[in-house]
Amino acid sequence: MLFIGCHLSVADGYAAMGEKMRAMGGNTFAWFTRNPRGGKTKDVPPEDVAALGRLLQKEGFGTLAAHGSYTMNLCSAKKETRENALDMLRQDLRRMELLPGQFYNFHPGSHTGQGTKTGVALIAQALNRALWPEMKTAVLLETMAGKGSEVGGSFEELKEIIDQTACGDKLGVCFDTCHVWDAGYDIANDLDGVLTRFDKIIGLSRLKAVHFNDSKNPCGARKDRHAKLGEGHIGTEALRRIALHPAFADLPLILETPNDEAGYIKEIAMVKSWF
């Protein structure tokens, strides 16, 4: 079954997001758990979250994919930044438990000159301090474009984080089509080869969600600039093959394209027309 949606604002509350996505024609969505650039957050009314839960069940929505703040860097060279990031992560995961069974996605972090090995170790250490065996939320590491000192620009780096995390059964991967393309994985011309590699290194069982984007850059550019579907270097036909591939069946496809609401409605309808 197709589950398609986009990022929504939580400004009007949780139930309002569900109503908005239903009106837009989608059946899953993402939202930022806090200000994506500043790290601030507001209290979450449990009754509002419960109302969203009832809507999701009634309307047959797929799993949602909340997104952590961009400022949350678990592997910064600065200890204060790492501790602030850990505090954000812990707060977010406790808040996610109000809506059990959803996904919490985040960018692994940037090692800021310490090297990838150190970055991986610091991320795993933070996850070991934040995750707990009884949690109902699955935590997703996002595939990254590999720009600068980003950690997660290769499948191997994500696997190393998973291997060093005690509650590894709580971890999955969010496959960002723009990011993997920019990182050098040719999903337009060798999708099966890329997925075979992913399966060999990480395992397709850990593939839980997709950020569904085109890219403004050629494969391997390592720049991370999203494009509207069909208006980038990946292209409509390749994106269609990705959406229809069995490896992505029943996974939430979250649009992060540079669009307004009308643009997202158009793209949601376009993807639905492929099925």
Do residues 64 and 99 make contact, with C-beta atoms less than 8 angstroms apart? Answer: yes
Cα–Cα nearest to 92, from 75, 76, 68, 109: 68
Do residues 36 and 76 make contact, with C-beta atoms less than 8 angstroms apart? Answer: no
**Sheet-wide strand order for 252-255:** 3-6, 252-255, 207-212, 171-176, 138-142, 103-106, 65-67
Q: Which pLDDT belongs to residue 83?
A: 97
Place of tokens 């060798």: 190
If one counts every other C-beta atom within 10 angstroms of the C-beta of residue 119, the result is 28
Give me the tens of pLDDT residue by residue for the chain, a chain 275 residues long: 999 999 999 999 999 999 999 999 999 999 999 877 766 777 888 999 999 999 999 999 999 999 999 999 999 999 999 999 999 999 999 999 999 999 999 999 999 999 999 999 999 999 999 999 999 999 999 999 999 999 999 999 999 999 999 998 999 999 999 999 999 999 999 999 999 999 999 999 999 999 999 999 999 999 999 999 999 999 999 999 999 999 999 999 999 999 999 999 999 999 999 99
For the stretch 221-260, what's the b/e string if a residue is b when 16 or more beta carbons lie within 10 angstroms of its beta carbon?
bbebbbbbbbebbbbeebbbbbbeeebbeebbbbbbbebe
> Which residues, 6+ apart, have CB-to-CB distance to 246 below 8 Å?
none
Stretch (H or E) spanning 55: helix 46-59
Name the β-bridge partners of 253. Answer: 4, 210
Name the β-bridge partners of 211. Answer: 176, 254
Task: Please give the Cα distance from 266 to 84 (Å, whole number).
Answer: 39
Q: Which pLDDT belongs to residue 9?
A: 94
Task: Please give the Cα distance from 214 to 195 (Å, whole number).
Answer: 18
Task: Please give the Cα distance from 254 to 77 (Å, whole number).
Answer: 31
Which CATH number goes with the domain that contains 189? Answer: 3.20.20.150
Q: Which pLDDT belongs to residue 42?
A: 75
Do residues 173 and 143 make contact, with C-beta atoms less than 8 angstroms apart? Answer: yes
The total of structural domains in the chain comes to 1
Name the β-bridge partners of 175. Answer: 210
Q: Which pLDDT belongs to residue 192?
A: 98
Task: Please give the Cα distance from 79 to 118 (Å, whole number).
Answer: 13
Q: What is the pTM of this model?
A: 0.96
Q: How far is CA 184 from CA 40, 111, 143, 188, 239, in A?
A: 34, 20, 12, 11, 16
Q: How far is CA 132 from the centre of its chain?
A: 20
Q: Which pLDDT belongs to residue 39?
A: 66
- Structure tokens given for 74: 């678990």
Greatest Cα pair distance, the chain, in angstroms, is 49
Question: Residue 175's domain spans which residues?
Answer: 3-273
Cα–Cα nearest to 208, from 173, 243, 259, 162: 173
Do residues 213 and 228 make contact, with C-beta atoms less than 8 angstroms apart? Answer: no
